[in-house]
Amino acid sequence: MSMTMSQKILAAHANLDEVRPGQLIMADLDLVLGNDITAPVAIREFAKFGMDKVFDKTKVVLVPDHFTPNKDIKAAEQCKCMREFAYDHEIENYFEIGQMGIEHALLPEQGLVGAGDLIIGADSHTCTYGALGAFSTGVGSTDMAAAMATGKAWFKVPSAMRFNLTGKLGRWVSGKDLILHIIGMVGVDGALYKSMEFTGPGVATLTIDDRFTICNMAIEAGAKNGIFPVDAVAKEYLAAHCKRVPVVYAADADAVYEEHFEIDLGSIRPTVSFPHLPDNTRTIDEVGEVKIDQVVIGSCTNGRISDLRVAASILKGRKVARHVRTIILPATQTIYLQAMEEGLLRIFVESGAVVSTPTCGPCLGGHMGILAKDERAVATTNRNFVGRMGHVQSEVYLASPAVAAASALTGYISNPEKLEEK
C-alpha cells in the first residue's frame, strides 16, 4: 500500500510495514513535551501509576513558558511542581528561567527535534516540528503522563491533504500570510484530524522559519499535523542544530490524499485574520480602517530572529503611534542575544516599543499584555478566539510581523507596502 510522509513515520515507529488511514496503532516516541500549564496535571497522573522513573530521562522535555516569569502564586506553584519533578527524575531537558524559551522555538534550536521523529507534546502547537520533517502533534496531559511512563502513545492514522506550492512569496509576504490564507480557504475544521502535507517547487523558496510558522498553525485548521519534505533548507538547519543523522521519509508517488490544493505563492497577499476565528481572513487590501490599541510581535509562531529583523526594518528610525502599546517578545534567550547583538533591541526601544523576556504570556491572555474591554490588538500569535488575550469584549487580529510593525506605527491595521511609498 502506498503511504504519505506522515503515514510512513507512524508505520516505522509502530514497527509495521504499512498503515492505513483510520487504523489504530501503538507507536514508540522520540520526545515527550510539557509546559507549566499541562505538565503539572501529567505529573500528578504519573504519580498515580506508582512509577519511580520516566521511560527515558533524555526524551522528556519540560519547559515553563506560559506564565513565566511567574505571574502569581498559582503560577509559581505550577512551576515548582515541574521543577521538583525534573530534579527528582533527573530530566536532562528541563529549561528553567534564564535557559528557557517559548517551547516550540526552543526545542528545534536546542537540537532536540530531528527529521523522521515522532513527537507528542501537551500543547496543541507541538505540530510546529513538521517543518523539519517530523511527525509531531499535541495531546492531553493524561496522554503525556502515560507517554512519560511508557515511551509510547496510541494514534489513529490520519488521512492527508496535499498542498502543492509553486512560485515565490512577494516582498512583505511571509509564511504567516500563507497559512492564514490556507486556513481562510479550508476553514478551522477543514483539515480535522488530517495531515497537511506541503509539496511542490515552491517549498524550496520558503525559509525554515516560514515553515515553522506554517506547521505551527496547522492545528488552527483542525489538522493532526503539518509536515514539509526534508530538503536542502531543512537539512541545513538540522546540520546546524541537531547532532543526529536525519531520517528522511518521502511520500510515495501514488500516495492517496483526500484533497489536493494548488497554491501559487506569488498570488498571496499580506493577510489578516479578524475576530474571532483564525479562518475569518481578509487580505490587507480588504481590511478597511481598524484602529488598534496594542501590537504584540512574538510567540511560538513569529518570535524568531527573522521575524524580529522584519519588524526592526520597518520600525527603524520611526516612532510607534502614541496610543499603541507595542510589545516585542524574542522567542528564546539565544534569539534575544542575537537581536541585541544585531542592534534590533535598540531599534525597538527607540521606536517606543518594549522588549520582554521570552514568554507565551500575552498570547493566551496570561500576562505581559492583557487587553481591557473594547481594546483591539494586532498580534503575530496564532489564535484570536473570544477573550483569547484578555477581556471577552476585546478583539485580536492575527497578522505577520510586517503588518504588525506597520500597524504599530500608524495606529491602524496597515499595509507595510504603503510605508515604502512615503
**Per-residue pLDDT tens digits for 132-161:** 999 999 999 999 999 999 999 999 999 999
Residue 55 corresponds to which cell in the numbers above?
521511560
Tell me what pLDDT residue 259 has.
95
**Per-residue pLDDT tens digits for 37-72:** 999 999 999 999 888 899 999 999 999 989 988 889
State yes or no: cis peptide before 276, omega within 30 of 0.
Answer: yes
Distance separating alpha carbons of residues 136 and 400, to the nearest angstrom: 24
Total tally of structural domains belonging to the chain: 2
Residue 412's Cβ-side half-sphere holds a number of Cα atoms within 13 Å equal to 10
Query: Which range, of 40-54, 268-282, 300-314, averages the lowest pLDDT?
Result: 40-54
CB 183, CB 221: distance < 8 Å:
yes
Mean pLDDT of the chain: 95
Residue 38: how many CB atoms within 10 A of its CB? 21
Whether 403 maps to a domain, the answer reads yes
Tell me what pLDDT residue 147 has.
97
CATH number at residue 35: 3.30.499.10
Q: Which of 327, 366, 387 is nearest to 72 (CA)?
A: 366
CB 197, CB 9: distance < 8 Å:
no
User: Are residues 353 and 302 located together in one domain of the fold?
Assistant: yes
Q: Which of 37, 14, 33, 40 is nearest to 25 (CA)?
A: 14
User: Are residues 187 and 286 located together in one domain of the fold?
Assistant: no
CB 220, CB 183: distance < 8 Å:
yes
* Continuous segment of H or E residues that includes residue 154: strand 152-156
Apex 166 CA angle, 124 and 270, nearest 5: 60
Whether 36 maps to a domain, the answer reads yes
Q: Which domain holds residue 350?
A: 274-421
CB 143, CB 124: distance < 8 Å:
no
User: b/e for 62-73, b at 16 or more Cβ within 10 A?
Assistant: bbbbbbbbbeee
Helices (H), 110-231: 141-150, 175-186, 208-216
User: Are residues 238 and 278 located together in one domain of the fold?
Assistant: no
Q: Which of 214, 418, 172, 397 is nearest to 296 (CA)?
A: 397
What confidence tier does 414 reach under pLDDT thresholds 50, 70, 90? Answer: very high
pLDDT over 70 at 267, yes or no: yes
Q: Which of 249, 255, 210 is nearest to 230 (CA)?
A: 249
Whether 348 maps to a domain, the answer reads yes
CB 184, CB 176: distance < 8 Å:
no
**Per-residue pLDDT tens digits for 348-385:** 999 999 999 999 888 888 888 999 999 999 999 999 99
Distance separating alpha carbons of residues 272 and 281, to the nearest angstrom: 6
User: Are residues 181 and 99 located together in one domain of the fold?
Assistant: yes
Ranges assigned E (strand) in 303-375: 325-328, 354-355
Tell me what pLDDT residue 51 has.
84
Tell me what pLDDT residue 421 has.
60
User: Are residues 302 and 222 located together in one domain of the fold?
Assistant: no
What confidence tier does 422 reach under pLDDT thresholds 50, 70, 90? Answer: low
Tell me what pLDDT residue 119 has.
98
Whether 60 maps to a domain, the answer reads yes
Tell me what pLDDT residue 70 has.
87
**Per-residue pLDDT tens digits for 96-132:** 888 889 999 999 999 999 999 999 999 999 999 999 9
Tell me what pLDDT residue 121 has.
96
Total residues found in the chain within this entry: 422
Whether 45 maps to a domain, the answer reads yes
Q: Please state, in angstroms and as integers, the Cα–Cα distance from residue 277 to each residue in 86, 285, 302, 421, following that order.
A: 36, 19, 18, 32
Whether 269 maps to a domain, the answer reads no
**Per-residue pLDDT tens digits for 225-245:** 999 999 999 999 999 999 888
Whether 209 maps to a domain, the answer reads yes
Query: Which range, of 29-38, 89-98, 261-270, averages the lowest pLDDT?
Result: 89-98
